[in-house]
Structure 1
Amino acid sequence: MSDTESAYFATGCFWGAERRLWNIPGVLQTSVGYMGGARPDPSYEQVCTGVTGHAEIVEVSFDPTKVTYRRLLEEFWVMHDPTSLNRQGGDIGTQYRSAIFTTSDSQLLQAEATRDVYQAALSRKGIGEIVTEIKSAQGIPYYLAEEYHQRYLAKNPNGYDCHSSTGVPFPSQVSS
């Protein structure tokens, strides 16, 4: 059995992001929850008020021999609008911010490198600056969201996907 890695992404509402990520081959498991705030074990209602400071997060467990962290990052950048501060579409508040919580130095470097690659692509299209928060997950607890949020769009296939995007694809890698 190969090692499993974890990744944490905030792209606004977690329902649509979780579905996009669970459909990627090599992703073993997903869950949704809250990270980056001050209140221990917050409820959805508390997070929605904005007072806890948490972001809606998708936790991804993946097999790095089947899907790379870079591939997950490429999906992250295009599944939402990382230039939109504390909102995605009609969802407004700090809980809808764009963020990546990394679990290793390698993840941190890759998150920053892909941000720079995507920023260059956005800049070529006249789109503004990426505002995504990128920080280490070390010492930042992940709180599992309530059961009805887990795999919400599998339970409610016509439910609210809640994502906007820049419409700019992630640049394909060019070998040198």
Structure 2
Amino acid sequence: MTANVRIAWHWIVYDPAETRSKIEQRLIDVGAPMTLIDRAVYVIRMRPPFAINYPKRYTPVLYIGEGDLLSRLLSHRKWAIRMQEMGFRFPLEVAICCPRVRNSPDAYRVFEAHLLNVFYERYGSLPLKNSIHEYKAYDHQYERIATNIVLGPGSGNRHLWAIQPLPSNPFQAVFARTHEV
């Protein structure tokens, strides 16, 4: 039986140099369900004015992930800081949701795979920092807005630049490997 899964996104500004407690406080402030945060789906994005120039179109999405959100954000610190040190210290944001489906404890993993598949079809590549294309069998339906709002540039956002790594950039190898063939 098909499950219609309601997705509620919570958004925070993400400074990779911040402590775990500061990130946790930001999540509490936006009403993120802290008791469910260990099975979250999250999207790390650049904030305007920058976005990434993917093969089919641009978007600010850098990474789509799942799991224990606080631990995962701390593990992304190294590459996020390194990326910011390569040039302008651009601001980041994270969109977080905690999808739940009755009798489906892996609903969050399934939704992450769904987001990665939609992203790949729409942009011709995985996000810049994703290197594995997740495939999960699912019988769930998600509202189109649940994916559009988080994968696209966003309504009213003013992205003035769409950038991509050049061959001399250490991020380029994974980026190029995940493009459509």
Name the TM-score, length of structure 2 as normaliser. Answer: 0.28
Name the TM-score, length of structure 1 as normaliser. Answer: 0.28
